Amino acid sequence: MSTSTRFGDRRGTIAAAVTALLLLVGGVLVAKALTGPGAPPQPDRAQGTQATRDAAPTPGRSATSRPTGSSTPSPAAPSSTPGPDFGPIMGPSSPVSLVIPSIGVRTSGLVDLKVDRNGKLEAPTDFARAGWYAAGPTPGEFGPAVIGAHVDSKSGPAVFYRLGSLKKGAEVSVLRRDGSTARFVVDRVARYSKADFPTATVYGDTKGRAELRLITCGGAFDQSTGHYVDNIVAFAHLTS
């Protein structure tokens, strides 16, 4: 400003103004690129990245449940025994909200998800909502309940943006329509290529345990398809 007033040159003033504008816009863009949300976090190796493939999906041998001691079924139980130990199991009731304190997820109004013609589970159409596989078990029931949400929209982070940074031992709560809360603890978080997705590990048998799968996208984003190439999956089991 002082330059232009001192020399009183109109073209100089315009050039200076253009310079200022370029500096401003350029600077903002660079700052945004550097400090902005950036690429979503990915699970680290220690969480079990891609290490657990299901080579042959034998029923009951899926790698999903890794009970730490308590849920080993008692073989050939005589009539007086309590029977197999599945851990806590809740009755059916659909989920209404999801809370994951450690990664700041607090979302309500879960939408119903169904499988598409190719058998793939459809993502929520709304980037601001999580969805659950409504034909499967409700969270807290027997088997693997599935909740999926977007990692980002076209413009910024979405519900499961930070799912990749979720850690083993983290708590996940699902409030259900009947007023009860299903509390889960995370067993592991893994990243899988969509082209080689371990269907049986993620959606398969849990040996009776009530478990939860949280799914979002990960890895590289392919501009030509408009999709990420990987999925991030968090595995959790019901504690109460």
Partner 1 sequence: MRTTTKIASVALGSAALLPFLGAGIAQAADGSTMATLRPVALNGVKGSGTAMVTVTGNRINVTMAANGLLPDNPHAAHIHFGADARHECPTASDDKSGDGTLNTTEGGPAYGGIVVSLTKTGDTSPKSGLAVDRFDTAPGGKIQYERGSITVAPEVAQAIVDGKSVVVVHGVDHNNDGKYDGATKSDLDPSLPTEATDPAICGVLAAAPAGGMDTGAGGTSTGTNEGMLALGGGLLLAAAGTGVLTARKARNRA
The minimum distance between CB 171 and partner 1, in angstroms, equals: 22
Three-state DSSP at 239 gives coil
Which stretches within 40-174 are classed as H helix?
Answer: none
Residue 218: what residue type?
G
Restricted to residues 29-88, the positions that interact with partner 1 (CB under 8 A) are 29-34, 36-40, 57-60, 73, 77-79, 81-84, 86
The minimum distance between CB 164 and partner 1, in angstroms, equals: 11
Restricted to residues 11-30, the positions that interact with partner 1 (CB under 8 A) are 11-12, 15-16, 18-20, 22-23, 25-30
- Which one, 56 or 68, has the nearer CB to partner 1? 56
The minimum distance between CB 168 and partner 1, in angstroms, equals: 22
Q: What would the DSSP string read from start to end of 142-205?
A: SEEEEEE--SB-SSSB-TTTTGGG--TT-EEEEEETTS-EEEEEEEEEEEEEGGG--HHHHHS-
Residue 27: what residue type?
G
Using alpha carbons, select from 216, 202, 114 the residue that is nearest to residue 159. 216
Q: Does the protein bind partner 1 through residue 2 (CB under 8 A)?
A: no
- Of 44, 112, 178, 222, the one binding partner 1 by CB under 8 A: 222
- Of 231, 236, 237, 238, the one binding partner 1 by CB under 8 A: 231
- Of 103, 187, 208, 238, the one binding partner 1 by CB under 8 A: 208
- Which one, 161 or 188, has the nearer CB to partner 1? 161
The minimum distance between CB 126 and partner 1, in angstroms, equals: 12
Restricted to residues 113-152, the positions that interact with partner 1 (CB under 8 A) are 115, 118-123, 127, 133, 135-137, 141-143, 146, 148-152
Please classify residue 62 by burial: count the beta carbons closer than 10 Å to its beta carbon, then call 0-12 exposed, 13-18 middle and 19+ buried.
buried
* Token reading at 25: 């816009």
Phi and psi torsions of 160, nearest 5° = -100, 30
